[in-house]
Amino acid sequence: MAEPRNLSRRVFLARIGVLGAALGGGGLLTRGLLNPADAATNPLLPPAVDLVRPVLAALARDTLNGLTAFALPGPDQYSRTQRASSSTPGALDAGATDFMINALDNFVPFPDALAQPISAALVTGLADSGVNLPGLEVLPAELRSLDQAFAAVLQSDEAIPLSFPIAGLLNLMATQVNPAAVNGPHLSPFARLTYAEKARAFELIEKTDSDLVALLDVQFPEPLKASVSGLLKFVGGALIEFATFGAYSEYGVLDRSTKTLRRRPVGWTLTGYQPDGPVEGWDDFIGYYQGRKEVHD
């Protein structure tokens, strides 16, 4: 992997995609996605946290849009950007990105001993970058830079959504594969890659070694240093598995109040699964299979 220790902080900022999310398209904070006055009504979080979280959430969603389109291409813009699209519905049509965010942020455990140093690496990369978020005029001067505002997110009492560091990792690997991905359509470098480049990014994650840890500039506490490579390899495989499962599941069309499907799931259509109604089971599996009542070696 090239230049593991020599990235400038501003380049690191662009490579993890936060700069694009904060400033792209005129600035998320100035396009009506966030009302600075809302911060004053939330006694649980400092204003900086309320302002920065939507930026990081938008970056995570855009990154995961690029991931789910990689798992199951469709007719959407993310699939077209990766130069691997389909005329049939894909992961975005199936709501796979919502599935990923919900799973990562609410259900997938991530040890604090690893979450904190990995997340702190982002602050290290942002420190002294000199980049200010638009719309932060309501904050004290010491909280207006991106690295300081992001640090406030990490220091808040709320849990760090796992989708944030996952997006940072994917975007950092994206720019290792193609440094030009810091610019282009979408908010995130990973979403700007071609299909083959995304595959290469995952290859780097799954074959990672100490270079990646050095690139993240994280001082992991003992005895975790030896486990970091294994964790990242697991993350690489699990992300593709989660994205694929979400694309073929009923998650996007399930009415949780009635426990029924609002419409036919994308995965059912693509696989021809029970085209004419609900699954009623098979007669062969009623009672004992083929009349058997016991099994012998």
Which residue is listed with tokens 């813009």? Answer: 77
Task: Name 195's Cβ contacts closer than 8 Å, sequence gap at least 6.
Answer: 70, 73, 82, 83, 84
What's the pTM?
0.77
Look at residue 68 in the predicted model and tell me its pLDDT: 98
Residue 4 pLDDT greater than 50, yes or no? no
Digit-coded pLDDT (tens) for 81-136: 999 999 999 999 999 999 999 999 887 666 665 566 666 666 666 555 555 555 55
**What are the two backbone dihedrals, phi and then psi, of residue 7, each rounded to the nearest 5 degrees?**
-75, 130
Digit-coded pLDDT (tens) for 197-253: 999 999 988 876 556 655 555 556 666 655 666 677 778 888 999 999 999 999 999
First to last CA, the chain: 53
Give, in order, the Cα–Cα distances in Å from 16 to each of 9, 126, 215, 276, 295. Answer: 11, 10, 12, 46, 57
